[in-house]
Structure 1
């Protein structure tokens, strides 16, 4: 999912478009405010820095390393990626945040360099890992860096009217929707109602005639996201490959543990 989000953002920027993140899916579109933010080239980049604190904070602290990124570093003392004590990581909530950030970046292997505190923390993190993943699933925190959320309000006409108002306020008339049957069906209904929603917003005095004219058409690209790979028209849905890799990794880990525990 994150790879798809990054591809959309960077291609949009490449062709000269202004690209926005709508955090938490349709819920973010209905709520508006800080859920709708302009995306930049850097906002979809990522790497791991400042120790456990960086793992808890996530964001730009987690970035991919390259061969060149570790060149010319032997002359420098300390560590180029920084280190920091992290009180938050000592709490269950902090480790839950750290697990979420690692999952978002597809990281399942850690190399921890440190003393007693760092290594004890790493061991505790490993022991709790399965439980943390279960919690993240229950809280629906996996999937994508911009978040996803089911939105009952968007199923109502009033909810879609709010969403339309928020999009017009940001001058957004093109949407890329990544999801399954519910998300794509909702997107199609939103598109069909768009003209009527703009008329209602005008009648209520929430937008003027010029804003309605500028945003008179809503263009939607639908990208199929489903770990079940159960949609026609695509060889492999977004999320399927990641899910299969996770399954294989878990099975391999179980087999390795079983072979060594007799």
Structure 2
């Protein structure tokens, strides 16, 4: 028999991602619409430990769809990884009569949620919020689309100055273990080369591609580098190229945390709303230790275990081939 859910809490944890506020809004209003009491946990798992838990109503989430970041704040909480930290969190969950949690974040967030649920019997549903798009169980994660658009805006501006000065720009984007942002940004921006964690591109391979462009009178080149590229980041690759290839004036731009911020795209606003709505309905239906994700434009539930342990490669083969074909 399903445990009756009366009080739910929502939190954001780990790195922020555009679209988190849309998910928070959907959780709060879907919960209230269904007669539930909804609480917001400030600063993620840290807020559970310090009892920074606030009741929320429909007006608590007014006018937040367009905001980047998260109105609930976020933090990386090492204390929650300890038995003592989890025990403090559970004590405050009990004091607030919270029956279930909606956790918005990435693999670290979901790992903590799964352990907490198993240890204390709290129903948990996760929403994937990470710009890296590196979780199984959802074709797209919150913030991924916005991050790509942010990169595109920067690359378009850099392309202008690259063309004006016959320059070669190495532009480093986020993605320690996933090249999703780099690959799509490269296709959409017309970059000549993309360097990915999932593929090994040697310095010789890179120089051959740049030489080909120079021989066909390209006035500039853009190389998108995922931060997790195995042969080094943008500065290291630029240094090696600069030593052996003098055709262009070589520059480096690190976009860094610029990619996390900004107003979420329409896609991320709708995705956050859909997943927040689905998460609450899943809790009402008695589901737990599941993640709500988008697969083939349908919202589906995947076990949190599978979401964080399944080895995935989201680099579309046709896009990989296109980086070679369209950059000549």
The counterpart of 2:81, out of the listed 155, 164, 167, is 155
Name the CA distance, whole Å, in 1 between partners of 2:145 and 2:91: 36
Q: 2:28 aligns to what SS in structure 1?
A: helix
Match of 1:145 in 2: 71
Tell me the number of residue pairs that the alignment of Structure 1 and Structure 2 aligns: 147
> How far apart are 1:190 and its partner, in Å?
0.5
What's the secondary structure of 1:19's corresponding residue? strand
Question: Whole-Å Cα distance in 2 between the matches of residues 22 and 40 of structure 1?
Answer: 13
Q: Does 2:28 correspond to 1:14?
A: no
Instruction: Determine which structure has greater relative contact order: mean sequence separation of CA pairs < 8 Å that are 6+ residues apart, divided by chain length.
Output: 2
Aligned to 1:52: none
Structure 2 SS opposite 1:160? helix
Corresponding residue SS for 1:37? strand
**SS class of match (1:246):** helix
Unaligned runs of 5+ residues in structure 2 are 1-19, 167-328
Residues 1:105 and 2:9 are matched in the alignment? no
User: Structure 1 regions of 5+ residues with no counterpart?
Assistant: 47-62, 65-103, 107-142, 195-216
Offset, 1:10: 1.2
Normalised TM-score (structure 2): 0.42
- Tell me, in whole angstroms, the C-alpha distance in 1 between the residues paired with 2:37 and 2:122: 15
In structure 2, C-alpha distance between the alignment counterparts of 1:16 and 1:258, rounded to whole Å: 57
Matched, 1:39 2:48: no
Q: CA RMSD in A?
A: 2.2
Aligned match of 1:230 = 134
Cα drift, residue 238 of structure 1: 1.2
Once the two structures are TM-superposed, the CA of residue 250 in structure 1 deviates from its matched residue by: 2.3
Q: In the TM superposition, what whole-angstrom CA distance separates every residue of 1:238-261 from its partner, at most 9, and x where no partner exists?
A: 111121122122223444677799
Write the distance in 2 (CA, Å) between the matches of 1:14 and 1:21: 16
* Alignment of 1:251 onto 2:155: yes
What does the per-residue CA deviation read over 1:156-192, in whole Å, with 9 as the maximum and x for residues that have no partner? 1011010001111111111001111111011110111
